[in-house]
């Protein structure tokens, strides 16, 4: 059924992981409660159906609903929570055998989670290897990863550091980053920390040296004109550049 969602237990997942189709694991952003998270994932699944994407689709939902008054304070707390959530995601990836390629889609603060998780993955695998027989312990069996970062609410220096850590630890990686110079939430990211804080990756884009160092493994999508003055995930999912990139990922194997 188009856009349908079903619940799986851990045992069900291990059985279904024999499927070698691409795994699309989606992490939502800030200020989304559990009901809105389901709406978010249903919309993503419907987008996938419209584009003819094949694979398994998993929502990684984290507690991002408002917890304190004041968007600045609440957002700083959520940034820390999104970073902590990465350890859980890395542990989950390490403890489940995933034979096919993996696309980690992170929206807004969800991009923080997938970036940090991929940097921690090899450490988690070493830990999981001695605890769980279903963990991936053979480096040659590691899946290929794509990080698709939509409106990423993380700074370029941290992005650099996590990507370097992942590559140094042998993770096979390709990255897509969206940039929207009109996104009001991402424009506000800098004063979220201090008046001289770092700009958001999704507003500024990656450093030129990062693009050069990744040598074709990093694709930057400038969606400023297509998305415009909004941070709404619904509008981002409608952007032609993002939809086209989803289709390209689904049809091309990673190097």
**Per-residue pLDDT tens over the stretch 43-81:** 999 999 999 998 889 999 998 877 777 777 877 888 889
Q: Which residues contact 210 (CB under 8 A, 6 or more apart)?
A: 156, 159, 160, 163, 218
**Per-residue pLDDT tens over the stretch 121-169:** 988 887 766 454 444 444 445 678 999 999 999 999 999 999 999 999 8
Provide the pLDDT for residue 130. Answer: 47
Distances (CA, A) of 229 to 108, 135, 179, 222, 232: 15, 43, 12, 13, 9
Provide the pLDDT for residue 134. Answer: 46
**Residue at 5 is within a domain:** no
**Residue at 119 is within a domain:** yes
**Residue at 19 is within a domain:** no
**Per-residue pLDDT tens over the stretch 75-118:** 788 888 988 999 999 999 988 878 788 999 999 999 999 999 99
Give me Rg for the CA atoms of the chain.
17
pTM strictly above 0.95 = no
**Exposed, middle or buried: residue 196 (CB in 10 Å: 0-12, 13-18, 19+)?**
exposed
- Residue scoring higher pLDDT (7 or 148): 148
Domain that holds residue 247: 30-251
**Residue at 4 is within a domain:** no
- Residue 111, phi-psi category: left (phi > 0), alpha (psi -120 to 50), beta (remainder): alpha
**Residue at 3 is within a domain:** no
**Residue at 1 is within a domain:** no
Please state, rounded to an integer, the average pLDDT across all residues of the chain: 85
Nearest to 180 by CA among 107, 77, 246, 71: 107
Provide the pLDDT for residue 18. Answer: 60
**Residue at 178 is within a domain:** yes
Provide the pLDDT for residue 2. Answer: 47
Provide the pLDDT for residue 78. Answer: 83
Provide the pLDDT for residue 27. Answer: 96
pLDDT beyond 70 at 13: no
DSSP-assigned letter for residue 200: B
Provide the pLDDT for residue 137. Answer: 41
**Residue at 198 is within a domain:** yes
**Domain total of the chain:** 1
């Amino acid at each position: 059924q188009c856009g349908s969602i079903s619940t799986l237990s851990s045992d069900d997942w291990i059985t279904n992981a024999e499927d070698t189709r691409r795994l699309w694991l989606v992490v939502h952003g800030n200020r989304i409660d559990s009901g809105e998270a389901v709406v978010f994932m249903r919309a993503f699944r419907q987008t996938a159906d419209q584009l003819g994407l094949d694979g398994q689709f998993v929502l990684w939902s984290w507690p991002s609903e408002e917890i304190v008054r004041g968007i600045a304070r609440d957002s700083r707390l959520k940034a820390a929570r999104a970073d902590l959530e990465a350890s859980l995601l890395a542990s989950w990836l390490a403890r489940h055998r995933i034979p096919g390629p993996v696309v980690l889609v992170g929206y807004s603060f969800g991009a923080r989670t997938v970036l940090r998780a991929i940097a921690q993955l090899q450490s988690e695998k070493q830990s999981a290897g001695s605890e769980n027989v279903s963990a991936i312990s053979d480096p040659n069996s590691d899946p290929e990863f794509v990080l698709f970062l939509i409106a990423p609410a993380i700074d370029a220096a941290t992005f650099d550091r996590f990507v370097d850590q992942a590559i140094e630890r042998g993770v096979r990686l390709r990255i897509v980053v969206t940039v929207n110079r009109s996104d009001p939430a991402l424009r506000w990211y800098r004063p979220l920390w201090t008046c001289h804080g770092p700009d958001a990756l999704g507003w500024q884009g990656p450093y030129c040296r990062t693009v050069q160092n990744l040598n074709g493994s990093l694709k930057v999508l400038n969606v400023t004109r297509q998305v415009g003055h909004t941070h709404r995930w619904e509008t981002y999912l409608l952007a032609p550049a993002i939809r086209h990139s989803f289709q390209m990922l689904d049809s091309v194997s990673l190097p």
